[in-house]
Amino acid sequence: MQSNIDFQQLAVSGVQKLHPYQPGKPIEELERELGITNILKLASNENPLGASPKAQVALANPLKTLELYPDGSGYQLKAAIAQKLGLQSAQITLGNGSNDVLDMIARVYLDNSRAAVFSEYAFAVYPIVTLAVGAELRIAKANPPDHHTMPYGHNLPNLAAKIDDKTRLVFIANPNNPTGTWLGKDDLHRFLQRVPEDVIVVIDEAYTEYVQDAAFPNALAWLEEFPNLIVTRTFSKIYGLAGLRVGYAISNPAVADMLNRVRQPFNVNSLALAAAEAALDDDEFLKHSVMTNTAGLQQWFDACAEQGWEYIPTVGNFITLDCKRPAAPLYDALLREGVIVRPIGAYGLPHHLRITIGSESQNTRCINALKKVLAA
Ligand X SMILES: *Cc1c(COP(=O)(O)O)cnc(C)c1O
Which positions lie near ligand X, rule CB under 6 A? 45, 97-99, 123, 173, 177, 204, 206, 234, 236-237, 242, 247
Q: How far is the CB of 316 from ligand X (least distance, A)?
A: 8
Q: How far is the CB of 101 from ligand X (least distance, A)?
A: 8
Phi, psi of 87 (to 5 degrees): -125, -175
Region of 121 (left: φ > 0; alpha: ψ -120 to 50; beta: rest) is left
Q: How far is the CB of 47 from ligand X (least distance, A)?
A: 11
177 vs 363, which CB is nearer to ligand X? 177
CA distance 9 to 3: 13
Which value, to the nearest 10 degrees, does the dihedral of the CA atoms of residues 220, 72, 238, 367 take?
Answer: -130
CA distance 80 to 69: 20
CA distance 264 to 283: 31
Assess contact for 194 and 163: CB atoms under 8 A: no
Q: List CB contacts of 102: < 8 A, sequence separation 6 or more.
A: 95, 125, 126, 129, 171, 202, 204, 232
Q: Degrees (nearest 5) of the Cα angle 245, 216, 286? A: 45
Sheet with 318-322, strands from edge to edge, namely 310-311, 318-322, 349-356, 342-344
Q: Which of 183, 267, 241 is nearest to 44 (CA)?
A: 241
Q: How far is the CB of 123 from ligand X (least distance, A)?
A: 4
Query: Closest CB to ligand X belongs to which residue?
Result: 97
Q: How far is the CB of 268 from ligand X (least distance, A)?
A: 11
Long-range CB pairs of 372-375 (<8 Å, 24+ gap) are 372/337, 373/330, 373/333, 373/334, 373/337, 374/323, 374/330
CA distance 360 to 115: 44
Measured from the Cβ of residue 230, the count of other Cβ atoms closer than 10 Å reads 27
Q: How far is the CB of 131 from ligand X (least distance, A)?
A: 17
Q: How far is the CB of 203 from ligand X (least distance, A)?
A: 10
Q: How far is the CB of 232 from ligand X (least distance, A)?
A: 7
Q: How far is the CB of 336 from ligand X (least distance, A)?
A: 27
What one-character DSSP code corresponds to residue 269?
Answer: -
247 vs 338, which CB is nearer to ligand X? 247
103 vs 282, which CB is nearer to ligand X? 103
18 vs 333, which CB is nearer to ligand X? 18
Where does 98-256 show beta strands of DSSP type E?
115-119, 136-140, 167-173, 200-204, 229-234, 247-250
Q: How far is the CB of 233 from ligand X (least distance, A)?
A: 8
52 vs 303, which CB is nearer to ligand X? 52
Assess contact for 215 and 184: CB atoms under 8 A: yes
